[in-house]
Amino acid sequence: MKSDIEIAQECVLEPITEVAEKFGIDKNALELYGKYKAKLSDELYENSKANKDAKLVLVTAINPTPAGEGKTTTTIGLAQGLNLIGVKALVALREPSLGPCMGIKGGAAGGGYAQVVPMDDINLHFTGDIHAITTANNLLSSMIDNHIFRGNELDIDTNNITWKRAVDLNDRSLRNVVIGIGDKNGVVREDGFMITVASEIMAIVCLAEDICDLKEKLGKIIIGYNRSGKPVTAKDLKADGAMAALLKDAIKPNMVQTLEHTPAIIHGGPFANIAHGCNSIKATKTAMKLADVVITEAGFGADLGAEKFFDIKCRKAGLKPDAAVLVATVRALKYNGGVPKADLTKPNTEAVKAGFVNLEKHIENLQKFGVPVIVTLNSFITDTAEEVEFIRSRCEQMGADFALSEVWAKGGEGGKALAQKVMEVLENKTSRFKPIYDENDSIVNKINTICKEIYGAAKVEFLPKVKKQIAGLEELGLDKMPVCIAKTQYSLSDDPKLLGRPDGFTVTIKEIRVSAGAGFIVALAGDIMTMPGLPKTPAAENIDVDKNGKITGLF
């Protein structure tokens, strides 16, 4: 069996100008980064605003398992399948982070015959967006500490600085650091790093409509508080203009292609377990002006990415998704049913029945947002007809449509059945989308709604310091925003070991932060961290490059 990278390397890429031309995009609207990558100009979006909006379909998944679900692969393959049946479809994805690429996950450009290419470029530095975000983040950090060193006119409380530095790598040793050590090296204080994709600036880039909106949002970033307890912003430090200048190109969406030369817009990369998990508003809205159907995705399971897509991204962008595709595999359901990873390829309908409860909860959750749901199974040769039929029957009993997907093995051809089912739903079912809570409700009520309605928690516990943090935000009038909960992706609960559909559990909120620039409140649940660590055997150990510059081991 060929590896993903071998399949990608067999592909004869078309110049991105030719890929774009098929969708009516003039080459003058592209800002080229070599032959196969380009940024879409601001003029393209402005000139296409009069076009009718495409139908918008979200691809999400059950909670991830070691068996793999193939959400990105399905997203890409569905777009390819739609184009094969005569539907003008674009795919809009997030950019991979170098952290997981070099850590435990490897690359994130799809798989098999449903990939975006050039895969190596996309997985590594791409067009430099994430590096620009890292630099803008750390410029603000350096200006904070320089301001304090130069006399601290804003009276910043050095014990109450909430802004962290960033790097787009997994490095646990940087979670907590002390800076300023040594003579004339600034004020000594505790600081720390987060991974760039968890930075508020990443969220801002993904939620900004244009450069002016970007600068305004950057200026609202709260870096900490003065000794009187009042917030200090990036604009107070006069950092917003320079940060916006660093991001002037990063805010523009990127275009590449799938293995079948379908245009793919890839832009922005916030994680869904510690951030809001969606590609940029600008990328999605641009795609919706260039196609008849746009397929996008949100990170990890529907309890994280989909909830944040609906409650944060769609709310802020005024988007009304037309349907949701929920990805699962027979193997993943067996894992949720208690089967060890080594035995997942063995027929076991009873384990599928036991593990279906995880899929069941995600179907229910998506239906709460008022969108039609299509469940798709990533097909494997080890799946039995009995296992598949049980899943199909239960999904349809719940009011969800169902289709098999074979996009990994067959590309767009293997996505035709799913594509046809999606079009059937778009033509015959009406989305009645609505967010699950009112953003003007109290912080406590919003968190309770997500934890109880989406996760299935019996109770939410707020630590004493969290209650003080909430009271402080309410006093400052910073409570009327959506909530972004950071929690483990592996379970509906905040305990990664609780598989299936746990009940009777308590979600513990350990910290509250405000991302005033992005316009949401972050609640940290369980033991989630904003700077991951490397595994015992990092993926980086397997990556190499030969004398011709050919990369191996990146998948």
User: What are the CA-CA distances from residue 362 to residues 15, 227, 305, 374, 445 (Å)?
Assistant: 40, 46, 12, 11, 21
Find residue 520's DSSP bridge partners: 515
162 is catalytic: no
Q: Residue type for 61, please?
A: A
Find residue 525's DSSP bridge partners: 509
The residue ranges of DSSP E strands in 353-441, in sequence order, are 373-378, 401-405
- Is residue 95 within 8 A of residue 277, CB to CB? The reply is no
Predicted confidence at residue 90, as pLDDT, reads 96
Q: What is the Cα 489 distance to its own chain's centre?
A: 12
User: What are the CA-CA distances from residue 286 to residues 41, 104, 314 (Å)?
Assistant: 10, 32, 15
Tokens 């301001």 locate to 147
Q: Which residue in 67, 239, 244, 272 is the catalytic one?
A: 272
Q: Other CB atoms closer than 10 Å to residue 458's CB: what's the count?
A: 12
Which two three-digit tokens encode residue 130?
């994430």
Predicted confidence at residue 103, as pLDDT, reads 83
Report the residue count for the chain: 555
Q: Which residue in 37, 71, 331, 361 is the catalytic one?
A: 71
Spatial separation of the C-alpha atoms in residues 349 and 365, rounded to whole Å: 24
Q: Other CB atoms closer than 10 Å to residue 501's CB: what's the count?
A: 20
Q: What is the Cα 4 distance to its own chain's centre?
A: 22
Predicted confidence at residue 105, as pLDDT, reads 63
71 is catalytic: yes
300 is catalytic: yes
Q: Determine if residue 488 is left, alpha or beta; phi over 0 gives left, psi from -120 to 50 gives alpha, anything else beta.
A: beta
The C-alpha R_g of the chain, in whole angstroms, comes to 23
Q: Which residue in 94, 282, 285, 289 is the catalytic one?
A: 94
- Is residue 353 within 8 A of residue 404, CB to CB? The reply is no
Q: Other CB atoms closer than 10 Å to residue 540's CB: what's the count?
A: 16
Q: Which residue in 23, 380, 434, 452 is the catalytic one?
A: 380
227 is catalytic: no
pTM: predicted TM-score of the whole model, two decimal places: 0.95
Spatial separation of the C-alpha atoms in residues 483 and 460, rounded to whole Å: 15
Predicted confidence at residue 315, as pLDDT, reads 96
Q: What is the pLDDT along the chain (555 residues), one digit of tens a residue?
A: 677 777 877 888 999 999 999 899 999 999 999 999 999 999 998 899 899 999 999 999 999 998 888 899 999 999 999 999 999 999 999 999 888 888 876 667 888 899 999 988 998 999 999 999 999 999 999 999 999 999 999 999 999 999 999 999 999 999 999 999 998 899 999 999 999 999 999 999 999 999 999 999 999 999 999 999 999 999 999 999 999 999 999 999 999 999 999 999 999 988 888 889 999 999 999 999 999 999 999 989 999 999 999 999 999 999 999 999 999 999 999 999 999 999 999 999 999 999 999 999 999 999 999 999 999 999 888 999 999 999 999 999 999 999 999 999 999 999 999 999 999 999 999 999 999 999 999 999 999 999 999 999 999 999 999 999 999 999 999 999 999 999 999 999 999 999 999 999 999 999 999 999 999 999 999 888 889 899 888 888 888 888 888 887 776
Please name which of 119, 509, 189 lies closest in space to residue 108, comparing C-alpha atoms: 119
Q: Which residue in 193, 300, 462, 520 is the catalytic one?
A: 300
Across 199-237, b (16+ Cβ under 10 Å) vs e yields: bbbbbbbbbbbeeeebbbbbbbbbbbbeeeeebbbbbbb
Q: Residue type for 37, please?
A: K
- Rounded to the nearest 10 degrees, how much is the dihedral formed by the CA atoms of 339, 345, 346, 352? 50
Please name which of 156, 155, 152, 198 lies closest in space to residue 175, comparing C-alpha atoms: 198
272 is catalytic: yes
Which two three-digit tokens encode residue 100?
């997981």
Spatial separation of the C-alpha atoms in residues 391 and 158, rounded to whole Å: 56
Q: Collapsing DSSP states into helix, strand and coil, what is residue 97?
A: coil
- The set of residues, in sequence order, having a beta carbon less than 8 Å from that of 189 and lying 6+ positions away, is 158, 159, 161, 178, 179, 180
24 φ/ψ angles, rounded to the nearest 5 degrees: 75, 20
Q: Determine if residue 135 is left, alpha or beta; phi over 0 gives left, psi from -120 to 50 gives alpha, anything else beta.
A: alpha
- The set of residues, in sequence order, having a beta carbon less than 8 Å from that of 359 and lying 6+ positions away, is 62, 326, 328, 333, 375, 391, 395
Q: What is the pLDDT of residues 208-265, one digit of tens each?
A: 999 999 999 999 999 999 999 999 999 999 999 999 999 999 999 999 999 999 999 9
Q: Which residue in 60, 72, 73, 286 is the catalytic one?
A: 73
Q: Collapsing DSSP states into helix, strand and coil, what is residue 190?
A: strand
Q: Which residue in 309, 310, 402, 408 is the catalytic one?
A: 408
Question: What is Dmax (Cα atoms) for the chain?
Answer: 73
Spatial separation of the C-alpha atoms in residues 403 and 418, rounded to whole Å: 5
165 is catalytic: no
- Strands 38-40 and 177-179 turn out to be unpaired
Q: Which residue in 22, 105, 429, 452 is the catalytic one?
A: 105
